[in-house]
Amino acid sequence: MNPYTINPPTSEEVFEELGLALLKRHWSRAGLERFGKRGERQYGVDILDTLGESPLYAAQCKLKEQWKTLEPAEILNEVNKAKNFPSKLDHYAILTSAKVSTAAQLEVQAINQQHRAAGLFTVEVFHWNRLTDLIRQYPEIEQQFFGGMRAEEVAEVKSKQIGRANV
């Protein structure tokens, strides 16, 4: 476990931009873009691979308080919206600043079993801990969205200062 915490953005727009940057790198999909705008029908999709590569990837962003969880009913609701997307989706992710829960994980597993049998898209959820791990994996994204020195760099500087003080 890493000794520092990254707090999620407080605005939905910044959270979507962070999600877009992370998924572009994590999925190696240069064609990912934010999809539509508020007020338009988005079919449960905030991020879409507009290059239309196969398999087709899309994602939904759900900014929540960090102490909350993403309820199974909310996951199912977003997945059901994505089923009506005008193009056939192959992979659908929900990114959330909420914490992980067994109920959410079991819901995603059940959805994936049903979808596999019906030839529908796979679903995955990126909870805040998983997103934090991705942020740390891509220092340029951490710098872009959270700025300043990385916590590891601060710890290294502090340990050198402590070492010099003990000499």
pLDDT of amino acid 1: 45
Give CA separation, 100 vs 9, 41, 97, 106, 142, in Å.
18, 28, 9, 11, 21
pLDDT of amino acid 41: 87
Give CA separation, 111 vs 13, 99, 116, in Å.
28, 19, 8
pLDDT of amino acid 39: 79
pLDDT of amino acid 164: 61
Q: For residue 70, give the nearest of 120, 123, 17 by alpha carbon.
A: 123
pLDDT of amino acid 40: 84
pLDDT of amino acid 52: 84
pLDDT of amino acid 126: 97
Which stretches in the chain have pLDDT values below 70? 1-4, 148-167
Query: What residues are paired with 34 via a beta bridge?
Result: 47
42-58 residue pLDDT tens: 999 999 999 988 999 99
The verdict on pTM exceeding 0.95 is: no
